[in-house]
C-alpha cells in the first residue's frame, strides 16, 4: 500500500509485520528515520529541501536545516581528498561524487552526492548521504604518525652516525622507542631483546616497566622452555597472550601484567630480535592495536639495521652501503626507465636515431641495477656475511609495481628486493602500460587509486597487453567506489593486497599471484586476526 504523504514529505510504503498473531504497519518514514546515516535532498542551489533525523544530528544543532544552504549547516567545512565541490561535480558528471568533510578540528564526515534527473536528463535535485567517518580518518592519521615515527628512529645524517659511538646511538634509539610507544600507542611496559647470532641468546636491549627478575632472565631462541619471547624468536611469528594467567608459554614480565603481545623484529629476512609489550588488562590488544604495533616493529627492525646496533657491525657495513646506494637510486632509475619507455611507446616519428637513443637509455637504466648487484656479489671476503638462508623465493622474478606514492614504491623495492625480485615501478597507469608493452614481467602489483585509472581499468589494460600476466590489486582504508576489486575478481584476479603491508604479507600475495601458494591456503603465520 503506497501513501503519497509522510512525515518526511516523500512516499512511504507500509510493511505488514506479524508477531504473536497481531499485525502492525511499518512505514518508509520509520525506516528512514531509524537510519544512522544522514540523508538530505537539496536543490541545484544547494538548499536543503528535506532531511532525516540523523542529518539533523550531524548538522549544527542551532540551525534549522530545511531551507538552509547545505554547507552553512556545518560551519565552514573543509573538503578533503578533492579540490572541487562534490555537488557541483555530480551535477556536471551526472554520477555520484564522494568526498570527506572536516567539520571540526577532529571530526570528519563521509559525503556522497547523487544527482536526480528528470525525464529530460536535467539534474533537478541531489541526494546527499552523510556518515561519520571520524574513527576511520583518525586510524589513518595514527597509522601515518606511526610510520613517520618509525622512519625517524634512524633519521640521522652520515655525519651524526660518524660522530656518535655505538652506545650513544643505542641510547638515542631507546629514548625514541619509549617516547613513541608511550605517546602514540599508549604502551607503558615494553621489552626489546636482540638475537646474539653465535650463542642464539636473546640479549636485552631495552626494558621499561619489567620486574628485575624479568630484566635479568636468561633467554634463548627456542620454541619451548623460553617463554613467549623465545617462542616468537624461534618461529618468527607474533604471539598474542590474551590472559597471562591461563597461558602456559607466558613468563612474568611486568608486575601484574594480564595480557601481552610479542612481535618478531625481522628485516631483510633476518631475525633480529623481539618486541614485547604488556598490559595490566585482560585481552588489552585488539586488532587495531596489533596492526599499529606490527607497523612500528617493522620500522624498528629497519632502524636496528640502519644504526648498526647488532653484532658484526664491520662485516655488514659493505652490504649496507651497497643497499643504501641502491635505495637512493632505485626510484630515479625507475623514473628514467618509465619516462624513456613512455616516450618510445608514444613516439610516432620516423627518426631512427631518436628510437635508437631511447632504446639505449632504457638498456643503460636497467644496467645500473645490474651493476649494483654485481658489486654486492663480488664483496671482499671480510665483508661477506655467513648465511644459511635458502634460495630467495622470488629469485629471477620481474615485478611491475604501480603506485602514485613515492614512499610505497620505495618500500616495494626494499620488501620485494630482499626476496630476490627485480622490481620496476610506475607512477600511474600510463607509465605501467608503456612498461608492460616494452618488457615482460612475471607479476604486476597495482594500487586501485591511480591518478589516471582505477584498479579495474589498469587490471584490464595490463591483461590486454600480457594475457597471462598475474595481477595483484592493492587497497587500503579508502572505499572502493568503482568496485574495482569485485570486477577484477570476476575477470579472474585471485589475490588482493591490503595496505599497509608487511614483508610476510606482500610475499604471500606475490607467491599466491604467481600460483606458488594455493589461493585457499591458510593465512600467513604473521597475519592479523
Q: Based on the domain organization, do 154 and 279 belong to the same domain?
A: yes
Indicate yes or no: pTM above 0.85: no
Confidence of residue 292 (pLDDT cuts 50, 70, 90): confident
Residues 298, 165, single domain; the answer is yes
Q: Are residues 507 and 398 in the same domain?
A: yes
Residue 124 is part of a domain; what is its CATH number? 3.30.450.20
| Cβ-based neighbours of 217, under 8 Å, separated by 6 or more | 227, 251
Same-domain pairing of 48 and 146: no
Residue 475 class from Cβ within 10 Å (0-12 exposed, 13-18 middle, 19+ buried)? middle
Tell me the pLDDT band of 13, cut-offs 50, 70 and 90: very low
- Here the cell at position 474 is 592493492
pLDDT at 378 over 70: no
> Distance between CA atoms of 421 and 408, rounded to whole angstroms?
16
Residues 365 and 236 in one domain: no
Query: What is the arithmetic mean of pLDDT over 75-92?
Result: 89
pLDDT of residue 416: 86
Q: Tell me which of 51 and 417 has the higher pLDDT.
A: 51
Residue ending a domain, among 107, 132, 157, is 132
Based on the fold, state whether residues 328 and 241 are members of the same structural domain: no
pLDDT digits (tens, 9 = 90+) for 400-419: 999 998 888 888 888 888 78
Q: Which of 411, 402, 371 is nearest to 484 (CA)?
A: 402
Q: How many residues are recorded in the chain? A: 529
| pLDDT average, residue stretch 165-189 | 76
Q: Are residues 519 and 432 in the same domain?
A: yes
d(CA 502, CA 504) in angstroms, rounded, equals 6
| CATH number, domain with residue 459 | 3.40.50.2300
Last residue of a domain, one of 274, 306, 338: 306
Residue 265 has pLDDT above 60, yes or no: yes
Q: How far is CA 331 from CA 246, 318, 427, 497, in A?
A: 49, 21, 10, 22
Are 73 and 6 contained in the same domain?
no
The answer to whether residues 121 and 127 touch, using CB atoms and an 8 Å cutoff, is: no
User: Nearest to residue 316, comparing CAs of 360, 379, 375, 370?
Assistant: 379
d(CA 172, CA 192): 15
The Cα 124–Cα 115 span in angstroms is: 8
Look up the CATH number of the domain holding residue 172: 3.30.450.40
Claim to verify: residue 181 and residue 259 sit in the same structural domain: yes
C-alpha distances (whole Å) from 206 to each of 57, 249, 310, 446 are 48, 21, 14, 39
Number of domains within the chain: 5
pLDDT at 54: 93
pLDDT of residue 179: 80
Q: What is the mean pLDDT of the chain?
A: 80
The owner of cell 606482500 is 506
CA atoms within 13 A on the CB side of 189: 24
Q: Convert the pLDDT of each residue in 421-459 to its tens digit.
A: 889 999 999 999 999 998 899 999 999 989 999 999 999
pLDDT, greater one: 518 or 186: 186
- Given a cut of 80, whether residue 482 has pLDDT beyond it is no
| Residue 16 pLDDT > 70 | no
| Residues whose CB is less than 8 angstroms from the CB of residue 26 and which lie 6 or more positions away in sequence, other chains included | 14, 15, 17
Same domain, 148 and 297: yes
pLDDT exceeds 50 at position 525:
no
pLDDT-wise least confident of 4-8, 242-246, 375-379:
4-8
The pLDDT of residue 326 is 64
| C-alpha cell of residue 511 | 607467491
Q: Are residues 406 and 512 in the same domain?
A: yes
Q: Which domain holds residue 253?
A: 139-306
Last residue of a domain, one of 388, 422, 454: 388
Residue 341 cell numbers, joined: 619507455
Of the given ranges (263-267, 309-313, 356-360), which has the lowest mean pLDDT? 309-313
State whether 442 and 529 are in the same domain.
Answer: yes
Amino acid at each position: 500500500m503506497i501513501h503519497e504523504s509522510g512525515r518526511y514529505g516523500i512516499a512511504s510504503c507500509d510493511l505488514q509485520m506479524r508477531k504473536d498473531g497481531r499485525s502492525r504497519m511499518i512505514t518508509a518514514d520509520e525506516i528512514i528515520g531509524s537510519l544512522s546515516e544522514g540523508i538530505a535532498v537539496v536543490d541545484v542551489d544547494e538548499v536543503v529541501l528535506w532531511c532525516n533525523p540523523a542529518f539533523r544530528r550531524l548538522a549544527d544543532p542551532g540551525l534549522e536545516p530545511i531551507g538552509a544552504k547545505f554547507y552553512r549547516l556545518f560551519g565552514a567545512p573543509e573538503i578533503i581528498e578533492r579540490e572541487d565541490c562534490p555537488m557541483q561535480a555530480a551535477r556536471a558528471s551526472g554520477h555520484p561524487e564522494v568526498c570527506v568533510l572536516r567539520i571540526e578540528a577532529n571530526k570528519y564526515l563521509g559525503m556522497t552526492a547523487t544527482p536526480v534527473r528528470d525525464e529530460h536528463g536535467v539534474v533537478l535535485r541531489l541526494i546527499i548521504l552523510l556518515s561519520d567517518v571520524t574513527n576511520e580518518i583518525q586510524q589513518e592519521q595514527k597509522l601515518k604518525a606511526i610510520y613517520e615515527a618509525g622512519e625517524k628512529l634512524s633519521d640521522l645524517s652520515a655525519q651524526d652516525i660518524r660522530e656518535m659511538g655505538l652506545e650513544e646511538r643505542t641510547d638515542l634509539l631507546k629514548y625514541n622507542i619509549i617516547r613513541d610507544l608511550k605517546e602514540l600507542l599508549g604502551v607503558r611496559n615494553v621489552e626489546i631483546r636482540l638475537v646474539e647470532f653465535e650463542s642464539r641468546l636473546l640479549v636485552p636491549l631495552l626494558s621499561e616497566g619489567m620486574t628485575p627478575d624479568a630484566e635479568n632472565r636468561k633467554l634463548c631462541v627456542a620454541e619451548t622452555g623460553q617463554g613467549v619471547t623465545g617462542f616468537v624468536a624461534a618461529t618468527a611469528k607474533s604471539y598474542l597472550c590474551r590472559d597471562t594467567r591461563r597461558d602456559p608459554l607466558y613468563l612474568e614480565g611486568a608486575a601484574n601484567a594480564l595480557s601481552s603481545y610479542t612481535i618478531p623484529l625481522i628485516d631483510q629476512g633476518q631475525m633480529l630480535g623481539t618486541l614485547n609489550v604488556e598490559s595490566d588488562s585482560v585481552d588489552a590488544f585488539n586488532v587495531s592495536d596489533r596492526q599499529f604495533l606490527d607497523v612500528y616493529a617493522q620500522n624498528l627492525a629497519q632502524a636496528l639495521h640502519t644504526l648498526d646496533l647488532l653484532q658484526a657491525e664491520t662485516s655488514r657495513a659493505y652490504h649496507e652501503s651497497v643497499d643504501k646506494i641502491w635505495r637512493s637510486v632505485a626510484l630515479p632509475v625507475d623514473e628514467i626507465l618509465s619516462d624513456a619507455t613512455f616516450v618510445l611507446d608514444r613516439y610516432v616519428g620516423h627518426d631512427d636515431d631518436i628510437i635508437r637513443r631511447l632504446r639505449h637509455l632504457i638498456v643503460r637504466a636497467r644496467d645500473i641495477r645490474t651493476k649494483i648487484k654485481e658489486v654486492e656479489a663480488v664483496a671482499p671476503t671480510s665483508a661477506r656475511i655467513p648465511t644459511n638462508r635458502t634460495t630467495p623465493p622470488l629469485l629471477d622474478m620481474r615485478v611491475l609495481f604501480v603506485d602514485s606514492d613515492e614512499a610505497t614504491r620505495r618500500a616495494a623495492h626494499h620488501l620485494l628486493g630482499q626476496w630476490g625480485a627485480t622490481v620496476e615501478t610506475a607512477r600511474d597507469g600510463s607509465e605501467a602500460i608503456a612498461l608492460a608493452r616494452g618488457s615482460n614481467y612475471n607479476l604486476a602489483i597495482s594500487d586501485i587509486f591511480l591518478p589516471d585509472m582505477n584498479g579495474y581499468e589498469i587490471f584490464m589494460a595490463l591483461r590486454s597487453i600480457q594475457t597471462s600476466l598475474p595481477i595483484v590489486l592493492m587497497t587500503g582504508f579508502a572505499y572502493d567506489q568503482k568496485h574495482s576489486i569485485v570486477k577484477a575478481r570476476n575477470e579472474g584476479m585471485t589475490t588482493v593486497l591490503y595496505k599497509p603491508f608487511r614483508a610476510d604479507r606482500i610475499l604471500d600475495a606475490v607467491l599466491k599471484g604467481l600460483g606458488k601458494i594455493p589461493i585457499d591456503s591458510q593465512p600467513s603465520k604473521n597475519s592479523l586476526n
